[in-house]
Amino acid sequence: MQSLLSSSVLANPCTTGSPLFPPATAKLAAAASVPVAAAARSGAIAAVSRRSASGGRCVVAAASSSSSSPAVTTAEAGEVPATMKAWAYDEYGDGSVLKLNEAAAVPDIADDQVLVRVAAAALNPVDAKRRAGKFKATDSPLPTVPGYDVAGVVVKAGRKVKGLKEGDEVYGNISEKALEGPKQSGSLAEYTAVEEKLLALKPKSLGFAQAAGLPLAVETAHEGLERAGFSAGKSILILGGAGGVGSLAIQLAKHVYGASKVAATASTPKLELLKSLGADVAIDYTKENFEDLPDKYDVVLDAVGQGEKAVKVVKEGGSVVVLTGAVVPPGFRFVVTSDGSVLEKLNPYLESGKVKPLVDPKGPFAFSQVVEAFSYLETGRATGKVVISPIP
């Protein structure tokens, strides 16, 4: 727990007071970096990179060489600005507690971390639950910049980082344990600090917005299938097949694990989507009760909180993976562990298109619409992932 808590935001040498809500004096101290940061956000310069004379990619950021961290090995480390735009809250509550801070401190990095210039982020139900204070006992200190999912470009690397370098396009879930000391400075900001082991190179076939919608959901689907002992030839029922985790669980079960039969539930308008993802059986929950149907399954993955019904359709000796709601034996619940190696393992399936990210058609939401994006997420009606892009 202590190690996870210690990975939250460190005070920037150019700021005083709270690192996420620096006082006016801190804004003045960082003023020299603002023009360059603004230029990097303008339409004349790419959102996260510029072209060098040789045509390669390198990162645009504000100059402040005096604030360079000794852990940083890149020659351009000092070009990152002291402050950034970030959505944050300093108290728990509904969406109204979210405020746009235009002078939040850019997080420092540890030796095993990289600093990522965020191009896109995505929301998950855990973001809303965390903001509401459901995990106060194990949360990192307030104020909080929310966001687990990220896609962007590496702009700094700690000296123990071996596999990533400045300019790499990456994606990942930035908090190793979602509920145990998640990062204080998350992905709904221009920059975020992440351990190298939690990231993977972004598949070249995907844009940043698509990649940002993958990490936490695909890691959850993958870990759930692994913990259930799912393998080729087995059958599975996925409750909530059109959601972020469910849509990916269908694809993993069918196209990665080689399921003999994939069934999934959704509302009437989304049944064809389930089939396009790989479901052999699409169950309309508005017209049928899945627990009354004759079929039984080796594994049931419950992403909607119907554990008591789910156990009625699992075969003897089978498993019920419960992501939300009550757990009834033989059901079990787990907290996903972020792991960049899982993303690396799945990258070939993403590159080939066998597994596709599903971004809700109402998105991507603009960075200025984060409150609206949270509100939409909390309706429970999103198809796939709610994505924020571009940032800022």
pLDDT band at 20 (very low <50, low <70, confident <90, very high): low
Angle at 246 between CA 240 and CA 249, to 5 degrees: 145
Q: In which element (H, E) is residue 211 found?
A: helix 208-212
Q: Provide the pLDDT for residue 30.
A: 38
CATH topology (fold) of 220-333: Rossmann fold (3.40.50)
β-partners of residue 89 are 144
Range scoring the smallest mean pLDDT among 9-13, 262-266, 327-331, 372-376: 9-13
* pLDDT tens-digit series, residues 140-159: 999 999 999 999 999 999 99
The model's pTM is: 0.82
- Higher pLDDT: 40 or 286? It is 286
Share of the chain above pLDDT 70, in %: 80
pLDDT at 79: 82
Tell me if 356 sits within 8 A of 256, measured CB to CB. Answer: no
pLDDT tens for 206-261 read 999 999 999 999 999 999 999 999 999 999 999 999 999 999 999 999 999 999 99
Cβ pair 347, 203 in contact under 8 A: yes
Amino acid at 330: P
E-strand stretches of the chain = 50-51, 57-58, 83-88, 99-105, 113-123, 149-157, 169-173, 191-195, 199-201, 235-239, 261-266, 281-284, 297-302, 314-322, 331-332, 386-388
Q: Where in the chain is the domain with CATH 3.90.180.10?
A: 83-202+359-388
Phi then psi dihedrals of residue 330, to 5 deg:
-90, 25
> Which segments of the chain belong to CATH 3.40.50.720?
220-333
Sign of the Cα torsion 41, 88, 387, 379 reads negative
Interhelix angle 340-352/215-227, nearest 10 degrees: 100
Distance CA 176, CA 136 (A): 17
Indicate the pairing of strand 199-201 with strand 191-195: unpaired
For residue 19, is pLDDT > 80?
no
Quick check: 22 pLDDT over 90?
no
Please report the pLDDT score of residue 46 as a whole number: 34
- Using one digit for the tens of pLDDT, what is the confidence trace for 35-60? 333 333 333 323 333 333 333 333 32
**What CATH number does domain 83-202+359-388 carry, 2.102.10.10, 3.90.180.10, 1.10.15.40, 3.40.50.11030?**
3.90.180.10
Query: What pLDDT is attached to residue 281?
Result: 98
Q: What is the pLDDT of residue 63?
A: 31
**Residue found by looking up tokens 């190690």 in the block:** 3
Q: Which tens digits make up the pLDDT trace of 60-92? A: 233 333 333 334 333 344 489 999 999 999 999
